[in-house]
Structure 1
Amino acid sequence: MTEPTLKPERPFFSSGPTAKHKGWSASNLKTESLGRSHRSALGKSRLKYAIDLSKEMLGVPEDYLVGIMPASDTGALECAMWTMLRPDRPATVAAWESFGNVWIQDAVKQLKLPQLTTLDADYGEIPDLASIPQDNDVVFTWNGTTSGAKIPNTDWLAPGREGVTINDATSAVFAMEMDWAKLDATTYSWQKVMGSEAQHGMLILSPKAVSRIEEYDPAWPLPKLFRLKKGDKINRGIFEGATINTPSMLATEDYIDALEWAQAMGGRKAMFERADANAKIVLDWIEATPWLRNMVSDPAKRTNTGVCFVFQGDWYESLSAEDQAAVPKKIVKLLEERDVGYDFNGYRDAPPSLRIWCGGTVEQEDLKRLLPWIEWAYETVKNG
């Protein structure tokens, strides 16, 4: 096969941090808040603006709280677990990929919840979520960042259910509509779908979540970074820009830039459409390529962000496990050396695979240019 000549203009296909939006430049970021205290009127106003714009863009209900948290999505999600899950209540943690399994380990080994049920499934599958009792607290990942499997709907969550629902949505928000009425604590990070800088997470709380936090004082130690209360009440200052610890104002300005770009593109609906269109290019290509298959067998459960696919066919299946694992690594190496595509190898704990980010900050034309290069690299590895 002849080596292609047309390269993606923006060869950024990592699943996190993801690609900056087209036209991004550091020179476009506002810098007045840099070198200023995040507690200054200017600093707090920029943090509050990032919160308010996030809430508006995502269609979060008015009576929900939105706050900026340290330690990315992990910090936000673990804060929700540490402050809301109770030893005297039944809880279920459901996982079907690497990060969901971290939340299981947190519940089992750190919180040691005595009434805990865990549900897990292999990469590409989703456990039986309908089996979760409605009075259970539940922790789940909306979209499997490392498997490409998403929940197809929220029918398994009853309206007005007794348990609280904690949702890791980091690779889903701005690409899929959230069913806010059924979600009590939702978390995400700036570096996923919006392509912003890392280390900051978002925590979105329903009134029911606020009530749980206010009425419950955990027996286990709470690090300062998880302390959401002032006295017996939620510290609402955290949700108005008074962050628990010092944020990066440069990262904040970068996130604001991404939000304003998405707003100018048409808001979250436009972001959904962009992700859908991007994913269709890759999904259709996988279906038409005999030596590939989607890691997720059920089309209803396939993501529109981090599309994951594995290899198949006589040649690949004749290889040893070690040689099979080397195939995607060699393909990525060939294309990175040519500045065609960066960081699209499958996750390290996943089956040998490739993972192409299709979120809204990626351009369709770049995806179309990438795919022939993958075909060329596969043939090169196969015949090498």
Structure 2
Amino acid sequence: MTIAMPVLRPKSPHFSSGPCAKRPGWSPKKLNTSVLGRSHRSKEGKARLKLAIDLTREVLQVPADYLIGIVPASDTGAVEMAMWSMLGERGVDILAWESFGEGWANDALKQLKLDDVRVIDAPYGRLPKLKQVDGVARDVIFTWNGTTSGVRVPNADFIAADRQGVVICDATSAAFAQALDWPKLDVVTYSWQKVLGGEAAHGMLILSPRAVKRLETYKPSWPLPKIFRLTSGGKLIAGIFQGETINTPSMLAVEDYIDALEWAKGIGGLPALMKRADGNLRVLNRWVTATPWVEFLAVDKKTRSNTSVCLTISDQAVVALGAEGQAAFAKAMVARLEKEGVAFDIGHYRDAPPGLRIWCGATVQSRDLKALTPWLDWAFALTRAEFCKVAA
């Protein structure tokens, strides 16, 4: 049986979960290049870095008394900086339901070797029992949106407003697409490469007054690498949060981030960004509902991500292939779509269950997702005929 190839193609095939699609209309010619080749410590360089911080506060709606800094090593660097600088003052609860949460737990247990760590976990596709979290007396670490599982927390109600500990939130694939509950969060981190489609390697570290107090009143027992040091002489290094970065940033990447922020501001800011991501999720939700061979990895629709949408292949002939066979099947589907130039980099994360992961953040156009879904059906049918030895 011949399977007809769809006619309409996505205008942009970029559905990677990081680095993500550039904003609509992006061009390198639109970037401000006046500071390229200049020192980031020059008056002009620091002004551009400060502009990136100020626009972040405005678009992301960060409270006025929270500090915003640009730090090395993407979101991972920002989270590690907070963990190594703040943990150990009291016990810590770490939520883990996908690979990055598991990574933070591993660092606390095996690298920092903390004595009092509780890991509250759940398998891929589900959230841990949030009621088990001690959001009053203990520190808490969690990812707001699990990039590798497509599962997000519905809210931060499990954190107490009158807490004694600090809350570290990895928000890398939630920031600019989901409503963060700022009063419940003391450290928020993300990278430019996700919802705004910026370039990688730079992280954002946002600190509440409570987090600043922890940094200035607690000194960990272990030595800190230079790029992790946020204090000097027991006081916060304020310049970090005014555009004076710890190490040399890429000013080209800074300009790209500023461009994305100005685009976001121009379309209506955070509400518009969230609306775009929600609309993209609805496109895939309608298709999944009508398609018998695929399901969301996230079991509860209330916790499904509107950015990193993870899908599993539920067709029984494919399920019968076993874990290795399912992974090979998904890989073959992804390769087929990439060869046709209609979808790049939509395979599951290496530690996640076999399937697909399609980015739906604000820089992705709904019309491209609508054009993609017939291609997903096409690739599935051809791959099923190949792998399962059944008629297409």
Q: What is the TM-score normalised by the length of structure 1?
A: 0.98
| Per-residue Cα deviation, 1:122-156 (whole angstroms, up to 9, x for no partner) | 10111112111221100000000000000011111
Distance 1:18 1:338 in 2: 19
Contact 2:120 2:133 in 1 (8 A): no
| Per-residue Cα deviation, 1:66-112 (whole angstroms, up to 9, x for no partner) | 000000000000101111112x4111111110111110011001111
Larger displacement relative to structure 2 (124-133 or 17-26): 124-133
Contact 1:146 1:308 in 2 (8 A): yes
Distance 1:343 1:148 in 2: 16
Q: Which residue of 2 aligns with 1:98?
A: 99
Q: Which residue of 2 aligns with 1:265?
A: 267
Instruction: Mark the runs of 5 or more structure 1 residues left unpaired by the alignment.
Output: none
Q: Secondary structure at the match of 1:344?
A: coil
Q: Which residue of 2 aligns with 1:338?
A: 340
Q: Which residue of 2 aligns with 1:110?
A: 111
Q: Which residue of 1 aligns with 2:148?
A: 146
Q: Which runs of 4+ in 1 moved over 3 A?
A: none
Mapped pair 1:15 → 2:8: no
Distance 1:181 1:58 in 2: 14
Q: Where does 1:233-244 land on structure 2 (aligned, <5 Å)?
A: 233-244=235-246
Instruction: Mark the runs of 5 or more structure 2 residues left unpaired by the alignment.
Output: 387-392
Mapped pair 1:33 → 2:35: yes
Instruction: Kindly state the Cα deviation for residue 120 of structure 1 after the two structures are TM-superposed.
Output: 1.2
Larger displacement relative to structure 2 (319-328 or 248-257): 319-328
Instruction: Kindly state the Cα deviation for residue 318 of structure 1 after the two structures are TM-superposed.
Output: 2.4
Q: Calculate percent identity across the aligned residue pairs.
A: 56
What code does the residue aligned with 2:117 have? L
Contact 2:84 2:228 in 1 (8 A): yes
Contact 1:311 1:353 in 2 (8 A): yes
Distance 2:319 2:177 in 1: 35
Q: Secondary structure at the match of 1:201?
A: strand
Distance 1:149 1:279 in 2: 13
Q: Which residue of 2 aligns with 1:326?
A: 328
Q: Where does 1:209-288 land on structure 2 (aligned, <5 Å)?
A: 209-288=211-290
Distance 2:257 2:211 in 1: 26
Task: Select the residue among 50, 53, 56 that pairs with 1:54.
Answer: 56
Mapped pair 1:172 → 2:174: yes
Distance 1:238 1:101 in 2: 29
| Per-residue Cα deviation, 1:274-318 (whole angstroms, up to 9, x for no partner) | 000001101221122111111011011101001001011321122
Larger displacement relative to structure 2 (335-344 or 308-317): 308-317
Larger displacement relative to structure 2 (319-328 or 228-237): 319-328
| Per-residue Cα deviation, 1:317-359 (whole angstroms, up to 9, x for no partner) | 2224322111111111111111111001110110101011000
Q: Secondary structure at the match of 1:80?
A: helix
What code does the residue aligned with 2:67 have? L
Number of residue equivalences: 383
Distance 2:323 2:159 in 1: 40
Distance 2:324 2:86 in 1: 43
Q: Which residue of 2 aligns with 1:198?
A: 200
Q: What is the TM-score normalised by the length of structure 2?
A: 0.96
Distance 1:124 1:226 in 2: 33
Mapped pair 1:81 → 2:98: no
Contact 1:160 1:182 in 2 (8 A): no
Distance 2:144 2:304 in 1: 12
Distance 1:63 1:129 in 2: 28
Q: Secondary structure at the match of 1:245?
A: coil
Instruction: Kindly state the Cα deviation for residue 26 of structure 1 after the two structures are TM-superposed.
Output: 0.5
Q: Secondary structure at the match of 1:365?
A: helix
Q: Secondary structure at the match of 1:50?
A: helix
What code does the residue aligned with 2:314 have? Q
Mapped pair 1:124 → 2:148: no
| Per-residue Cα deviation, 1:353-376 (whole angstroms, up to 9, x for no partner) | 101100000001000000100100
Contact 1:15 1:192 in 2 (8 A): yes
Distance 1:214 1:321 in 2: 49
Q: Secondary structure at the match of 2:145?
A: coil
Distance 2:232 2:245 in 1: 13
Q: Secondary structure at the match of 1:209?
A: helix
Larger displacement relative to structure 2 (309-318 or 176-185): 309-318
Compute the RMSD of aligned alpha carbons.
0.8
What code does the residue aligned with 1:359 have? G
What code does the residue aligned with 1:383 have? A
| Per-residue Cα deviation, 1:239-294 (whole angstroms, up to 9, x for no partner) | 00000000000000000000001111110100000000001101221122111111
